[in-house]
Amino acid sequence: MDRYTVTDIQQLVSEIEVRILRLKKLMGASTAGDRSQDMSMKVLAEVDEAGGVVSREKWLAIGKKYGMDVRGLGGFFVGEGSMICIGGDKRALTERGMNMVKKWRERNNQGEVK
């Protein structure tokens, strides 16, 4: 598969995940997984609000703010589908991360997360 096909598949999977979460919300299902996903999206949304790039220290502070163990923040950097990338002391949203935040906000009818 070429790079563009993989990107298309990743975006489709993300859209399916969002739709599944919407269905769960409509059915009134609330699980620990949903809360964990919501917490992760709040972390990404805060990075987005900061301009999409934050320092390592700010990244760790944001994770702690939302109750995440800093060791768990490494999950945002995993594989081709990573939502955050590292550049020296900076942490930045990837295109996938930006798309996920946008879809999460739309799903929750939110503009900016406060």
Give mean pLDDT, residues 65-86.
Answer: 83
What are the structure tokens assigned to 87, written together? 């550049």
pLDDT at 36: 66
pTM here?
0.64
pLDDT in tens, 23-55: 776 666 555 455 667 888 999 999 999 999 999
Q: Give residue-wise pLDDT tens across range 11-25.
A: 888 888 877 877 776
Query: Mean pLDDT throughout 57-67?
Result: 93
Q: Name residues whose C-beta falls within 8 Å of residue 39's C-beta, 6 or more positions apart in sequence.
A: 66, 67, 68
Q: How far is CA 97 from CA 70, 75, 76, in A?
A: 18, 12, 9
Domain residue spans in the chain?
3-107
Q: What is the Cα–Cα distance from 71 to 111, expressed in whole angstroms?
A: 29
Instruction: Check whether 9 has a pLDDT greater than 90.
Output: no
| Look-up of token digits 């923040």 | 73
- The CATH number of 3-107, from 2.60.40, 3.30.70, 1.10.3470, 1.10.10, is 1.10.10
